[in-house]
Amino acid sequence: MKTDKLFYQLFLTQPEFLADLVPGIPADCIYEYSAPVLKDSEFRLDGLLIPQSEDLTAPLIFVEAQMQPDSRFYGRYFAEVYLYLYQYEVQRPWRGLVILQSRQQALGSDVPYGDLASGRVQLLFLQDLLDQTDLPPALALLQLIVLPDAAVPQAARALLRTAQREGEQAFESILNLVEAILINKFPQLEAEVILQMLDLKTADITQTRFYQDVFQEGLQEGRQEGEAALIIRQLTRLVGHLPEPQVQQIRSLPQAKLEALGEALLDFASLEDLQSWLNAGENT
């Protein structure tokens, strides 16, 4: 520590020495020495894709979806990434995929992080997809999120027609993703309305998860029970298998609470988040 302070004293009293060691710093630039304490913060990654391969050149991919303004977004994102790399002693390269609403989104300054983002982090702006055509399936699915409501049915049907040409397995996979997007985009619609929207009369969907887990449940159990089933399935995808007490608690929620849970569930990252929401609802 004494040696550290000696070096700092040397550099700070002789700015030209520091300029020799860090190219680009003006020789007459004056600095003030400090040793600030960094507060511990709880960071939570949106998503981390880990290669299932022993090839150490395959990168980790840090995925972040940010739809709301956040003046500290870039700092938080890179803090999460490098804290993970430090804590887990990562031995492979990494890449970033950041999904944003638009280029006008208020996310704070990216100037301090420009070199980190350049060539390593892919920024995907959903608004850029609005007027594009002939998109690959992954981008066509994301386009559904930002399309005007009136344009969604036609775009969804076109995507499903393309998937049908790729075979039954590809069709079922795309159908389930389209269904998940539409349920979140149109939470007020019943399952049979979504089915009509997708115009699947000529497709054999009786073996798909959409038909078995959503459509039939919605018809047999009534709208409220069907909506609870949809929400439970969405939560299972987001945070894993739900304990039976939580399932029963959700099924017993009144319609208004179910609708509120449907809007809030995308912010959940764990079963604890869900339970906190349910507990808060009991106290209101």
**In the predicted structure, residue 194 carries a pLDDT above the cut 80:** no
Q: What is the largest CA-CA distance in the chain?
A: 80
- Average pLDDT value over all residues in the chain: 79
Closest by CA to 110, choosing from 123, 93, 127, is: 123
In sequence order, the 6+-apart residues with CB closer than 8 A to the CB of 162 are 137, 140
Residue 190 CA to residue 218 CA, distance in Å, equals 7
Output 108 or 166, whichever has higher pLDDT.
108
User: What is the pLDDT at residue 73?
Assistant: 92
**In the predicted structure, residue 219 carries a pLDDT above the cut 50:** no
User: What is the pLDDT at residue 22?
Assistant: 67
Q: Mapping DSSP to helix (H, G, I), strand (E, B) and coil, where does residue 234 land?
A: helix
Identity of residue 249: Q
Please say whether the beta carbons of 67 and 77 come within 8 A. Answer: no
User: What is the pLDDT at residue 218?
Assistant: 47
The pair of structure tokens assigned to 165 is: 């040409």
Task: Write down the pTM of the prediction.
Answer: 0.61
- The DSSP code for 146 is H
The predicted-structure confidence for 88-102, as pLDDT tens digits, reads as follows 898 889 999 998 989
Alpha carbon 225 to its chain's center: 28
**In the predicted structure, residue 13 carries a pLDDT above the cut 90:** no
The predicted-structure confidence for 174-184, as pLDDT tens digits, reads as follows 888 888 788 77
Closest by CA to 76, choosing from 101, 122, 113, 119, is: 113
**pLDDT above 70 coverage of the chain, percent:** 74
Strands 47-49 and 60-66: antiparallel
